[in-house]
Every structure is written in C-alpha cells, then in structure tokens.
Structure 1
Amino acid sequence: MTAVNGTVANLKWTGPAYADELSGRFGKAVDYRRRPAEDFARAAVTLEDEDGNELMIEATTS
C-alpha cells in the first residue's frame, strides 16, 4: 500500500431540525445529538501491484 486518504462528515442529520425529525420518527432509539453517525464517508487507497503498476480503490457512501 502506498497511500490511504479518507474523509468522514456529519452533513445533515446532526443539525437541530433534522435531529428533531429523527427523534420524532424513531423515538429515543435514534438520538443524533448524543450519538451521531456519519452522513458521508469517502476513502481512496493507492496500491502497487507486483509489476509496479499503480492501482486505486475508491469507495463512498452517503
């Protein structure tokens, strides 16, 4: 492996209005004010194969 780059962010659901919406829909089981989860994640991994060729793996979720 030659490089790894990743980003995780809370973009929407930790905002007060959206956290209230989740609480109203799911009750106390979902409280993003106290236990947020990421809304967005991205990762890129750069590798080199046995022949010296650069390979890249990219993954995202939103």
Structure 2
Amino acid sequence: MAERKSIESAPKDGSKVTILWKDGDGVVNESIGQYRDGGWWVYTDSDTQKKVDPTSWRPASGDDDDQ
C-alpha cells in the first residue's frame, strides 16, 4: 500500500485518489475522492455525492507503484 501524503500535495486535476476524511460523527472514512468545483467530493452511495474535508491521500487502488 502506498504511503499517505498531505492533502495539500494531492492532484487537483480531476484525478480520482483515495482520501481519508472524518464525517460529522467523527468517524474516519476512506473513500475514492475527486477534486472539482473547488472542493473534494466522494460518493456516499451509487447516487449521492458529498463534499468532504480530507486530511490525507494516496493514489487510488490499482495505481500504486508498490504492486
């Protein structure tokens, strides 16, 4: 698994990456996210997207150099 990086270094070109973020209950989540429209977005289910404030990132699964 690739090492997590500071969210400030994440690509903001629309690439999908794995991000770590906390929900309103303080639960840490790991999701595929994408930066667009001035923020980070994740799918909460197949039809619903949510804007989140991630703390770190790594390349999305399958994009790791470690594989």
Q: TM-score, normalised by structure 2?
A: 0.23
Structure with the higher helix share, 1 or 2 = 1
Judging by fraction of residues, say which structure has more strand: 2
Q: Which has the larger radius of gyration?
A: 1
With normalisation by structure 1, the TM-score equals 0.24
